[in-house]
Every structure is written in structure tokens, then in C-alpha cells.
Amino acid sequence: MQFTSEKRLDDDTLEREFTLGEISGILWTPGSAATPTPLILLGQPGGLGLRKMYPRLAARAKAAAAEGIATATIELPETGDRPVSAASKQARTDLRAALQAGEPVTDDIIDRLTLPLVDQSVPEWQATLDALLELPEIGGPVGFAGGVIAIGVRLAVVEPRIVAAGLFAGSYVPRSTFEEARRVTIPLHVLLQWDDEGNDRQMALDLFDAFASKEKTLLANMGGHTGVPQHAGEDGNRFFARHLK
């Protein structure tokens, strides 16, 4: 892991960009916390990329740093400046065509759109986690928050170092993610935007039901896909503070 830039945000959070092979990302550490600190891996929604998501990610990072928790994010495969495979381009074209025609988005399209992203990004998250946990200032425990829900579910199944996850119940969940959900046992905090027209609400409720976790919370609010109210974000921060500190 190589740090390529370093700056201190106004509230004393240290922000460092890093690269790790092909992976690029950002690490935020609390300036004044006792180290080693817990860590939250910040997932990202598909397609936007780290630059567009930066303001929201930095806001979450500052809130976590105020709790003495470090955060890190990495660019998703096929996002930002990263190359996009011909198969993924085709899947995106097929998705747009289905949406424009007002046709249902088939499981086949969802699988082709999502599963390659899951298969590639989960090992990248694990390699990033290996490197982050070697830093003296990062100790764990580790949580995963937000982003593509199929990635969060896969990580919750395969990565025992992740002890709690905050998930956003978005659209386009592969069928295989439901099967994986039945094997998730860590504490979960799931956000659902109740009036999100681009989201299949019943599917989100079914996925929440599928998780085997004894401790899981569903927090549903109004405000549309991007209108998660501030109090719901604060509730997510408290979830991680409870489980990581």
C-alpha cells in the first residue's frame, strides 16, 4: 500500500489517498483518537465512482472519525478511470433498453450487471483490508457500510474479519445474493427508502427477512432513493459505534 497524498481535513481527520496494485482508494483516520482504531470499509453505489461520491464519503468519514473510527473506500471495478469489459458494457446497454421500454429488468440482466462486479471487488476489498490492518494506527474490529448490497452480502459471508454491516436496500439484487443472505449471521443495519420508485420494496423486505443474523435492524424512511434523512445516517453511525467500539 502506497500513500500518494495526505491532507488534514478541517476537523483534524487525516485523509490519505493510496494505491495497492490496481486498486486506488482513500483512508481517513481520526487525528486525535487512541490508536489502534476500529475501521469501517465504505462501499459505493455502482457507476458513480469515487470522485463523484467524494463529498458524501468524506462526510461519513468525518462523522466516524469523531467517534474515533477510521474509514476507507476503494474505487469499484469498472468505475472512475478503470476499464469496463465488453460484457459489462452489453449488460448496461441491456439495462437501459429494458428501462426505456418500460420492461422488467430480468434476473439475467441483473446477474450480468452485478455478479462480475461482486466477484472482482470482494477480493480487492480483502486485499485492501489485509494492507490496512498492517498499519499500526488501524486495529479493528471492522465493519462494512453501504454501496452495492450484493458486495456487502458477499463480504459478510466470506470475510470473518467483518463483524457488522450497514447495507442499503437498493435495486437489482441477484438471486444468488438471497442464497448468500441466509448465511449472514453478523449484526446488520439495513436502510430502505420506502418510497424509492426505482426499488422493488417487496424484494428488499424479502432480502432483510432472509438474513440469518439474530441482530438485524430495518430502518425504512420516506424521501426517495437519494433522500435518506439525516437522522437515519446518524442512526447508522450509532450502529457502528455500538458494534466496533
Contact residues: a second copy, CB under 8 A = 194, 205, 208-209, 213-222, 229, 231-232, 235, 238-239, 242
Q: Give the integer Cα–Cα distance in Å for 73 and 78.
A: 15
Q: How far is the CB of 198 from a second copy (least distance, A)?
A: 17
In 3D, which of 147, 90, 92 has the Cα closest to residue 124?
Answer: 147
Query: Helix, strand, or coil here: 128?
Result: helix
Q: How far is the CB of 229 from a second copy (least distance, A)?
A: 8
Nearer to a second copy, 88 or 217 (CB): 217
**DSSP summary character for residue 170:** -
Nearer to a second copy, 3 or 194 (CB): 194
Dihedral sign, CA of 214, 220, 225, 230? negative
Nearer to a second copy, 43 or 187 (CB): 187
For residues 44 and 76, the answer to whether their CB atoms sit within 8 Å is: yes
**Pure H helices in 73-106:** 86-100
Q: How far is the CB of 209 from a second copy (least distance, A)?
A: 7
Q: How far is the CB of 200 from a second copy (least distance, A)?
A: 14
Nearer to a second copy, 31 or 223 (CB): 223
Nearer to a second copy, 25 or 143 (CB): 143
Q: How far is the CB of 217 from a second copy (least distance, A)?
A: 5
CA dihedral defined by 185, 191, 192, 197, rounded to 10 degrees? -120
